[in-house]
Every structure is written in C-alpha cells, then in structure tokens.
Structure 1
Amino acid sequence: MPNKPKEVLDRRDFMLAPIVTAGMSAALATNASIVNAQDNSASSAVPASQGTVYVGDVIDGRKVVSKLDVNDLTPGQKHLLYFQGVEMPTGQHWYVSVTVARGAKPGKRGVLVSGVHGDEMSSIHTVQTVMDQLDPAQMSGTVMAVADVSRPALESMQRRWPNQGRGIDLIDMNREWPGNEDGATAPSRHAGLLFNRLLRPNADFAIDFHTGTTGFEVTAFNIAGMDVPEVKAMVELYPVGQIFDNHVYPGVLHNAFMDLGIPSFTPEIGAARVLDLTMIPLFVEGTMNVLKHHGIVAGPMGRTSKDVAVFIGNSAFPILATAGGIIQHLVKLNDKVEPGQPVAIQRNSFGEVVAEYRSGVTGEVTGQRSDAMSEPGNPLVFILFNKVAPEDVETYPE
C-alpha cells in the first residue's frame, strides 16, 4: 500500500470543491494518517503529563486554561472552563468552552468533541445533552466535552475556518489534526494547541461528532474502523441504521486519536445548520451506552445496533450532477437501491428533464443534496455499499 493516497478527497464537504470525475477511486492507506501525524506534530508535541495551567483570566465567570489535566479538578463535580486557543491578528485569542464531569471515583476518561465544523448544530446539541445527563457524584471516571472547536467558523455558522493570514482562506479544520503549534495557518496552530494540551492528554477514548455539510444532508450513521475491536465495541452500541466501516482520511480528528492508540470514531447526525430532534436522541442514547460500557456511569444499556436493522458498508458511491437545474429526488435516506435504479432527475428552467441519475451499486442511500438547485459536479446522492477488495474502496469525491 502506498504511504499517501493517490487522490486525497474531502469526505465531509460532499463535493463543495471541484472534482475531476465521478467515481474517482483512491487507495486508503491506514499508515498515511500516521505519517501525516508525525509530520504535523513533530515540532509541537507537548508531554501529556504536564498539569493544568491557568492563565489568570476569567471570562463570564469561567477560568481560562492553556493546558488541562482533568485529574487536577475536584472529583464529584462539573467544571466549566475556557481553553485559550490560537492567537488572532489582534493579539487576542480564540477561546473554546470546556465542560468536565469529574466522577467521584476513578475510572476511564472519555472525550466528546463537536464544533470542528461551524455549521454542525446537531452535533453540539448531542454533546450538550449527554453532559446534562451526567451526575459526577455518581460517576467513576471523567467525561470532558468540547463543543465549539472552530470558533470563527461557528460565529457565522459556516463549515470552514475563515483564515486571514494570507488573504481570506476557508480552511476545513477536520483536515488539520493533530495540528502543529508552529504551523503556517491559524487552524493548524489551533488544532495543535487543542490536541496537545487539551484533548489527547485527557482521553482514554474519544468521539468526534459531526453532521452533513451545508446543502447536503446525511442519515444517522457512524464512521469507524471496525477492524479495531475497541472501536467496534463502541460503535455497535448505537441504535442507528448505518455504519461506514472505513478509516477514511488522514487529518481528521478521530484518526489523530487512533494514530496514538486511543480508540475513536465519528458519528454523523443529519443535516447541517439545524437541530435534528429525531436523530439527536439516538446518538445521546448510544453515547450513554458507551459511557456505561466503559464503567463511567451505571445503569442498564439502552437500545443498540442489535435493535435496528443496521447496514454496514465499506465504501460510498457518489452520484454527481452532470447538468445545472432543479433536482428531484426519487429515493429517500436509508432506502435500499440496486444498480440501474433511478435515484434523481433534474429539470432546467423550462421544466424539461435534462438529466436522469441512477445507482451504480447495491446499497443504501446515506446522503442526499438538500439544496434544490445544483450545478455540474455537485454531489446529489451518496450510496453506502460494499466493495470486495479493501484496497479498492472508493473515497468520497468532494
């Protein structure tokens, strides 16, 4: 296997950048993310054993830290802090909110992350809901939640970080991990600070919550490497209908954890910019199951994958627009499809059908364009399916 994918394409933007061709394939080398992690963090690694550092500032009554060791916090309580992130051109900092439920008894440490993309509201609400359900006095172990990683993107509820260093750039922060504290861009430095000083030192396992991107909705599913037993055990505790069994791309947060032997995966919770109050409870229930699995909280398990007809696929087949016009979907999320089955049609301004789109595989619909208009090259549908040869697993074109 090569150390670098032939074409590293962005799985999370669902084709918001130009692509060369539909059905583009690339080998997904699991060791590529390891090489990337070494390159990015070599000059900025911080020993995980360093203790908490308070900078002396207080924002809205919350103390500000530049490093955190959850073991320094009082057991049996919830703690609300701000983490001092990257410095802005003005010399001020972006601050990230941190909620820690430190159990009364020792145990595993779980990290819940959301807000890596600025348009992903359901992921943030899921993490907040889980934290609201925790009673530290009854817990064994610690759960730390970070809900607004990409602060400047969240300020305008847009996907990418608007970087100002060399003129306006829009940078996908979920291609920056583990970051580099001395990196060339603010998102890279921000990722390095968070990963080295906040996330990595406090994680025995980690879950990085996301949604679909603006203009493209997804069903409820988890992205995970099911060949890792510790990860498989956690993912199967979610009562959601699909699992994308794939190690996906270097640079995503859950792979930065995995490269260090910290079990991690990514839940995907519906559409961007909204609260999906139907899907969110499924991921809250699954996350609480994970905390029970690790002995952090007590109580019976809720519903799991055994209670739903879960479909597991190792690849996603993209159907891309070949024309401009209004899209009419002929299938829904989670629908089963067969090769040759019509999945969408497209009409021009006169109402004439200018394109028809069909599935090329047997699988289930995992994502659809939610914007009614499309230009050529936009993704219209993604279909979760299984390829026989793992080295030929198709990547998401962006």
Structure 2
Amino acid sequence: MQNESKDGVDRRNFMKTAIALVGASSALVAQAGTAYAQNANAPAAGTGAHRGTVYTGDVIDGKKVISSLDVNDLPSGAKHMFYFQGVQMPTGQHWYVSVIVVRGAKPGKRVVLVSGVHGDEISPVHTIQSVVSQLDPAQMSGTVLAVLDVSRPALEAMERRWPNSGRGLDLIDINREWPGNENGASAPSRHAGLLFNRLLRPNADYAIDFHTGTTGMDLTSFNLARMELPEARAMAELFPITQIFDNPAYPTLLANALIDVGIPAITPEIGAARIIDLNMIPQFVEGTMNVLKRYGVVPGPIGKTGRDVGIFVGNSAHTVLTTHGGFVELLVKLNEKVTAGQKVAIQRNTFGEVVAEYTSGVAGEVTGYRTDATAEPGIPLVMVLYQSAGRENPEDYSE
C-alpha cells in the first residue's frame, strides 16, 4: 500500500524535465516549419490583412462558403448560416466549420460563442444551438456569432485532439495552438490561425468558448475565468452554476488569445465529454442569455446568476495522480467539500488487494474526477478546487 504523495512529487519533477526537453525539440521543428512556410504565397498571421466577407463561390447543403467574415456586411434583422473554409485536408479538400450569424435589427455589441474546439465536447454544441434558437434578430441590438464545430476532424471521430498527419499520425490539442499561425508547422495551427484572424477576432467584442471535461473525466458546472479582469469576472458571475476556477491555465487557450488582443473572454465547462447533459445545459443557456442581456444584445431582465446559487470560487486546482495501475473506487462526489488529508479513492489489483490509497493534499471542493474504472500510473484521478494565497497554474488541467 502506498500513498500518492511521494511518488506523485517524483513523477511531477520527472515530467517537468521531460516536457521541457520535448518542448525544446518541438520548438525547433515548429520554427523550421514556419520559416519554410513563410515563403508560401499567404499573408502572415495577425497582419490585419483580412477585411470584409469573402465568398469562395462554393455552396454546401444550400449554405454559402466563406473564407473571411465581417458581420457588418450582412443584412440586419436576420439569421445567416455559412460554412467557413478552414485548413486543407491531406487530400487537398478543406475542413469546413459551421457558422451562424444572428444580426440584430439595431447596431450594438458583438458576442462570439464557440464550441467544438475539442472533438469530444458535445454539450457545448447543444448549448449554443439552444441559445441561437431563442434569439429573435428583429428584437436584438448587435450580433451573435456562433462557431459550432471548430475541430471538425476531431469531432468526426469523437476524439479530443486533432488527428494531424504531419509526422505519421499526431494528436494535437488545438487549444494549445491559439492564436494559431496561418503559415504554421501543423494543420491545426494553420486552422486556428485562419479562424482567429478571419472569423473570430474581427467580429468579437466579447467571447465565450464552451468546453467539457476530457473523455474519461467528469466535471462539475464551472467557469474558467480570469477574475482579475472586470469584464471576465462580470460574465463568469452571470452563470447560475456551482463553481468558478479563477485561473488563466495555459496561455494558448482560445480565451487567453482573445484576451491578449483586447476581447474579454471566459471558458465555461459543461460536465462530462461525449454526452448531451440535458440537466446541466440549461444553466449555461441561462448564463449566456444573461451575458447577452448585460451587453444589451437582447432585451429583458437578468435571470438567475451565480450569486443566487452560492457559487464557489477557487484560484487553484490540486490534482491527485495515480501511482499504480488497477481498479479505482472513488470515495467522493462532485462538488463535495474535502479536507486536507481526506481519503478520496482507493485502488485494487486484479486479486482485489488494495495497492494504493489516495488523499487530497488541500481543503476545497471536488471539481472533477475520473469516470473510467481502471487507470494506469500517472493518470489524473481527482481534481480539487481550492483557494490559495498565491494562484497556482494547474499541471494536469484538461479543459
């Protein structure tokens, strides 16, 4: 029997070293690939060269294809549906992204709603569909831009990461690529660059990028938000959900890339992957409608918010990692308050012998845990949200 703490610390030190080495070699490859790609006849990412709505001339299922969008080019008081032409496939065809523009009858703020950055995140798609179904452009002031299926190849496979064929088959997390690079060293980097420069950034005053937990993990309802930023705080608190994770997490998240160019953004997390959670989704629909009301895009009073449900705010996440392989028995529930040293799980081998017991290293609330009944060593098992004196960036956070 062995507690997770000793092996966990050793493993994290080893992983930090390994990640640093891998990151250094990856950076060299990326720089070499980008340098070569800059010779191509494509504008450099972030130059601001993409202006106006550009129609490719193609039509798919009755919807026009665009390669650039300016919502101001579209008729007011109407809903518009397009396919955005993303990066090319290995065969030379394109991945297309579904886009809905709801342009109000009157001018106003522009709010972007995004889902499908990860291919196994299905509740976010349904959430945005539900919001759009409630919008009446004749009563709106401003615009809602809905981008529903960012990582199309990942979504087709119900796979979290983009299956990139650059060096055999890589699985690349596009939420570690933003703002992307139209001339980058991988297809997802270029895809992110196209969307960021030609679709998202030019049409956003505020943005919400919806996610779920990764496959094999379940999460509470919470918002990842940088609460030191007034508008991000205001948006996050408008959702009647259970938790707020006050942390920037990784710099390459879409929300952070948008914040870096002056667009307030947050990242809601809607429970588990691979499902449509009809119990949790209404909370996020109400929160999104509250955001649209705050910025005057839709009329009406603000509904239920985080203050009405006693939302818990933490600025750090403690992740309990498995030290053994075996069958996992969880001893806590989502949103349960735990104390430092409290036992949260045990693990048995095939003989039924207990091979490991796991405890929380902090006092806080359970915000996520593994749903698969087995685990190898080094797998995130339980995540505890807590408040620390100095905000700690999570090592194993998987938005």
What secondary structure, in the 3-state scheme, does the structure 1 residue paired with 2:52 have?
Answer: coil
Post-superposition CA distance 1:114-162 (Å, at most 9, x none)? 0000000001111111111101111000000011000000011100000
Post-superposition CA distance 1:197-225 (Å, at most 9, x none)? 00000000000000000001111000010
Match of 1:312 in 2: 313
Match of 1:16 in 2: none
What secondary structure, in the 3-state scheme, does the structure 1 residue paired with 2:256 have?
Answer: helix
Match of 2:213 in 1: 212
What secondary structure, in the 3-state scheme, does the structure 1 residue paired with 2:12 have?
Answer: coil
Q: Give runs of aligned pairs for residues 192-203 of structure 1, distance below 5 A.
A: 192-203=193-204
1:372 matches 2:373: yes
So what's the TM-score if we normalise by structure 2? 0.89
Letter of the 1:62 counterpart: K
Task: Measure the CA separation in 1 of the matches of 2:358 and 2:50.
Answer: 54
So what's the TM-score if we normalise by structure 1? 0.89
Q: Give runs of aligned pairs for residues 71-150 of structure 1, distance below 5 A.
A: 71-150=72-151
Letter of the 1:265 counterpart: I
Q: Give runs of aligned pairs for residues 151-190 of structure 1, distance below 5 A.
A: 151-190=152-191
More helix by share: 2
Post-superposition CA distance 1:273-328 (Å, at most 9, x none)? 00111110100000000000000001111110111121111110010111111111
- Evaluate the alpha carbon distance shift between residue 22 and residue 241 of structure 1 in structure 2; reply closer, same or farther with a 3 A threshold: farther
Task: Measure the CA separation in 1 of the matches of 2:279 and 2:394.
Answer: 30
Letter of the 1:43 counterpart: A
Q: Mark the runs of 5 or more structure 1 residues left unpaired by the alignment.
A: 1-18, 27-35
Letter of the 1:107 counterpart: G
Q: Mark the runs of 5 or more structure 2 residues left unpaired by the alignment.
A: 1-9, 18-26
Match of 1:21 in 2: 12
Identity %: 66
What secondary structure, in the 3-state scheme, does the structure 1 residue paired with 2:129 have?
Answer: helix
Per-residue deviation, 1:352:
1.6
1:228 matches 2:219: no
Match of 1:324 in 2: 325
Per-residue deviation, 1:248:
1.2
Per-residue deviation, 1:23:
12
Match of 1:240 in 2: 241
Task: Measure the CA separation in 2 of the matches of 1:333 and 1:397.
Answer: 16
How many equivalent residue pairs? 368
Task: Measure the CA separation in 2 of the matches of 1:320 and 1:24.
Answer: 12
Letter of the 2:134 counterpart: Q
What secondary structure, in the 3-state scheme, does the structure 2 residue paired with 1:20 have?
Answer: helix
- Evaluate the alpha carbon distance shift between residue 385 and residue 158 of structure 1 in structure 2; reply closer, same or farther with a 3 A threshold: same
What secondary structure, in the 3-state scheme, does the structure 1 residue paired with 2:245 have?
Answer: strand
Taking only aligned residues, the RMSD between alpha carbons, in angstroms, comes to: 2.1
Q: Give runs of aligned pairs for residues 8-47 of structure 1, distance below 5 A.
A: 20-21=11-12, 43-47=44-48
Per-residue deviation, 1:166:
2.1
Letter of the 2:120 counterpart: D
Match of 1:57 in 2: 58
Per-residue deviation, 1:25:
9.0
Per-residue deviation, 1:396:
2.9
Task: Measure the CA separation in 2 of the matches of 1:90 and 1:393.
Answer: 40
- Evaluate the alpha carbon distance shift between residue 393 and residue 250 of structure 1 in structure 2; reply closer, same or farther with a 3 A threshold: closer
What secondary structure, in the 3-state scheme, does the structure 1 residue paired with 2:301 have?
Answer: coil
Q: Which moved more, 1:255-264 or 1:345-354?
A: 345-354
Contact 1:23/1:318, CA 8 A, preserved across alignment? no
Larger RCO (CA within 8 A; separation ≥ 6): 1
Contact 2:50/2:68, CA 8 A, preserved across alignment? no
Task: Measure the CA separation in 1 of the matches of 2:231 and 2:298.
Answer: 18
Match of 1:396 in 2: 396
